[in-house]
Structure 1
Amino acid sequence: MRGVKKFLWFLYKCFAFYTLLIYILILWIPSGGWLAGFMMMSFPVVVIIHLISVPIWFLIDRKKALLPLVLLIGSGIFLSRTYRFGSKDASIADESGNTFTVMNYNVHSFQRFSDGPAKQVENQIEDMKNWIATSGADVLCMPEYFDDGSARFNMGELLGKKGIKHSAHYSNSDKNYRLGLALYSRFPIIARKDTIFEAQNGMIQADIKIKKDTVRIIGLHLFSMTLKLSTLVHQKKMDGVAKEGKITFSRIKMGFIRHAAELEVLESWIEDSPYPVVVCGDFNEMPYGYVYGNLRKKLDNGFEKGGKGFGFTFNHLPYFIRIDHQFYSPDRLGLLDFTTYNKIGYSDHYPVMGRYQVTPNQAAH
């Protein structure tokens, strides 16, 4: 029994070393490589294991319980990325400044429930469009946007009736329909550009004139790992588990590699901007990843400054993750509030909205 305890303690010390490596990677981000990506992504699981380990080692050997306790407390360094108690970090509105709202919502082509009865699908699409149109957003960023010109998918027409008449799109499809990323704005778009990384993934840059000020909105949809976790979970044979596990691993690995390349383009767009910037969209990355960590060095994160709770944004397996983000220029924009609409279940993502104010006398014109 004593030998078993020694072996378990040795394994735990190895795991403790692995934990320290993860903390270092998340804090200093030395590499955008796929191995580092896997390690950083494992952070929530690592914290849960230490949480379970504290009472277990306390029962086995009270002195040894100190190590998991210290490592658990150490994870608090990343608390702001994980959970918000709702205390007021957000700015107080100044009547002399221009305010605007930005919502990003991966709309899943407006057809998350496309395999249901025809009438039910029709009603769901209509309800989703109406909710978006009446959400109060001044700027809308919609990854996986779909428009085939029919009355069924007339999102642009519906938004136009609500005064949101300006738009920028990219699409990887032919001229008969759009399937990609869309930006809509209540305010005039005075300049725009886009780039497509692959399939539906890419970025749109729109310089938006908000009264006397200009703000650069960068909407994005980074490489989708498209994990079929439900397929993996429901495998009943080991060869099926192995096959799906291999596919999942390969997809995640490719995601880390692609995200590192996509970040280079994104950072160049941010650095070249003469205007305050809001970066929003589907990052397909948790708050402990390479892209998130690098952006956090330059910009503030909307959820971290004004969100509440865990702010999970994925409405599908594995559910408990936040991959839809907003970052903004803290020296030239103030965040007034930030909301995650986790009761809006039309898509496999939840919408998030930030309300911002251009800092008086500091915005570029």
Structure 2
Amino acid sequence: MPVRRSFAFKCTLLVIGWVLLAIGCAQVPGYTFWPAAFGALTLPLALALNLLLLLYWLLRNRRVALLPLAVAVLTWPHFQRGLAIHPFGGGSAAEHPGQLVRVLSSNVRIFNVYPQLRDAELNSSREMVRFLAENPADILCLQEFYNEPAGTRSRDGNVFRTEDKLGRQVGRQAFISKTLTNSAGAEFGMAIFSRFPIVGRGTIQFGKLTQNHAMWADLRLPSKDTIRIYNFHLQSMSMEEQDIVDSYSSKAGLKKKGLGLLRRFKRGLVARNAQVDTLTQRFERCRYPILLCADLNDVPYSYSYDQLADHFQNAWATVGTGVGATYNGRLPFVRIDNQFAGPRFTIEDFQIHHEIPYSDHFPTLATYRLKPQRE
């Protein structure tokens, strides 16, 4: 049978078309056509099938193998988004001189202050604060931040005096973006802590100011360069993990939970896509080298991630190895916490601290080098 009429060849063309369609779906914002998000989520499977077909044709017909090979080469950055592979190392530390910048990002889940999150003697809260205070990072970007300033009516002593413990007491300046101060005086929001002087700051709201917003700080480095770091927390799905598990565990669970989960998926998707568009417009106007820290609440095969990856280097995809899961829960292989860097930076190292299990997100730590500006 001629190659062009064979079933395998037709499957190859179909898979290539699937890959291209899924990549296109990732570029469609949810507020325009939200079902496209499901097409984007199929991209990992399409890329994997293309690699299998490449192996098949290498054994059967090397001329035909050029088709899936070309697709694999052109879409390799998309493959790296979900499964980073760097057999020869991902960093380029020796190639560029410049200022080192270490950044830790973490959704700290309000340091487990709520009764349902606490443990005996507030051990998880204390350990989380201690880890952040002692960490060598120059910059901390924290989402779901919680602080009890002096004068707060609290029975917990100074356990949650987090602005002081992560800031002044360890030589970092603090910028707290508060979304709520409760009747006891405790503060909720996001935070940036920096060992470099903070010379500018601001907040970006997505409509009403909530936990889902963005903040930025301009930092003056010892090299006299100024960089801007953005810390943001995009809209969550508002979906309970147990509901998701129930929905795919049985037909009854799918029938009971499925429609409600779909509605919440749509609402969260549309909101996140609009939020990331707001942010990318801000990034384009910034004159400084940029670093991004984010709880995206979205996976690497999504419009939100795609818009950021089009303009910035993802730290994990650049130097990591494997899936890089950051979600600490029952849903496996989920990476929703990310750091990105602009072109002036080289990414030397990226770690996910799986040994710090005190939140439902694992902290991420990256080391960047700011390349000297060309004259």
TM range (shorter): 0.7 to 0.9
Which residue does 2:162 correspond to in 1? Answer: 155
Match of 1:303 among 316, 333, 338: 316
Q: Which amino acid aligns with 1:277?
A: I
Q: What CA distance in whole angstroms lies between the structure 1 residues aligned with 2:254 and 2:28?
A: 33
1:252 aligns with 2:284: no
Q: Deviations over 1:211-251 (max 9, x none)?
A: 21111001000011132131343479866543421221111
Q: Is the 8 A contact 2:241 2:330 kept in 1?
A: yes
Which position in structure 1 is the counterpart of 2:100?
A: 99
Report what 2:79 is aligned to.
79
Q: Of the candidates 321, 340, 349, which is equivalent to residue 352 of structure 2? A: 340
Paired letter, 1:40: A
Q: CA distance change for structure 1 residues 84 and 162 in 2, over 3 Å: closer, same or farther?
A: same
Q: Match of 2:366?
A: 354
Q: Separation in 2 of the partners of 1:246 and 1:195?
A: 33
Name the CA distance, whole Å, in 1 between partners of 2:253 and 2:323: 33
Structure 1 segments (4+ residues) deviating >3 Å: 10-20, 30-33, 42-48, 73-77, 93-96, 112-118, 172-175, 234-241
Q: Which residue identity is paired with 1:105?
A: S
Match of 2:25 in 1: 25
Q: Distance in 2 between matches of 1:162 and 1:282?
A: 25
Q: Deviations over 1:62-89 (max 9, x none)?
A: 99xx99x969x85756221122234333
Structure 2 regions of 5+ residues with no counterpart?
1-9
State which of 150, 165, 170 in structure 1 corresponds to 2:173.
165
Change (3 A) 1:38 1:179: farther
2:37 alignment partner AA: G
Asked if 1:43 corresponds to 2:51, the answer is no
Give the secondary structure class of the aligned counterpart of 1:137. coil
Aligned equivalents of 2:284, 2:20: Cα separation in 1: 32
Q: Where does residue 7 of structure 1 map in the other structure?
A: none
Quote the offset at 1:327 in angstroms.
Answer: 1.1
Amino acid at match of 1:347: S
Deviation at 1:17, TM superposition (A): 5.9
**Partners of 2:94 and 2:19 in 1: CA distance:** 41
The answer for the alignment partner of 2:285 in structure 1 is 272
| Aligned length in residues | 341
Q: CA deviation at 1:42?
A: 3.6
Query: Equivalents in 2 of 1:17, 1:256: separation in Å?
Result: 25
Give the aligned residue type for 1:179: F
Tell me which residue corresponds to 1:3.
Answer: none
Q: Percent identity?
A: 28
Instruction: Report the Cα distance in structure 1 between the residues aligned to 2:295 and 2:288, rounded to whole angstroms.
Output: 22
Tell me, yes or no, if the aligned pair for 2:29 and 2:273 is still in contact at 8 Å.
no
Q: Note the alpha carbon deviations across 1:275-305, whole angstroms, 9 max, x for none.
A: 0000111011111111211222211111111
1:184 maps to 2:197: no
Cα offset, 1:319, TM superposition: 2.7
- Cα deviation 1:243-287 (Å, max 9, x = unaligned): 421221111111221122112221122111110000111011111
SS of the equivalent of 1:269 reads helix
Structure 2 residue 229 is matched with structure 1 residue 217: yes
- In the alignment, the residues of structure 2 paired with residue 320 and residue 113 of structure 1 have an alpha-carbon distance, to the nearest angstrom, of 27
RMSD: 3.5
Distance verdict in 2 for CA 1:358–1:13, change over 3 Å: closer
Q: Which residue of 2 aligns with 1:108?
A: 109
Q: For the Cα contact (< 8 Å) 1:166–1:186, is it kept in 2?
A: no
1:195-206 to 2 correspondences below 5 Å? 195-197=204-206, 199-206=210-217
Paired residue type of 1:123: N
Determine if contact 2:142/2:192 at 8 Å carries over to the other structure.
yes
Per the alignment, do residues 349 and 12 of structure 1 end up closer, same or farther by CA in structure 2, a change over 3 Å counting? same
The CA deviation string for residues 19-58 of structure 1, in whole angstroms up to 9 with x for no partner, is: 55214334xx24443111222124346667x59x98xx9x
Please give the alpha-carbon distance, in whole angstroms, between the structure 2 residues aligned to 1:357 and 1:117.
Answer: 38
Identify if the C-alpha distance between structure 1 residues 17 and 148 changes in structure 2 by more than 3 Å, giving closer, same or farther: same
State the alpha-carbon separation in 1 of the partners of residues 106 and 335 from structure 2. Answer: 13
- For structure 1, the residue ranges without an aligned partner over 5 or more in a row are 1-9
Counterpart code for 2:162: M
TM-score calculated relative to the size of structure 1:
0.81
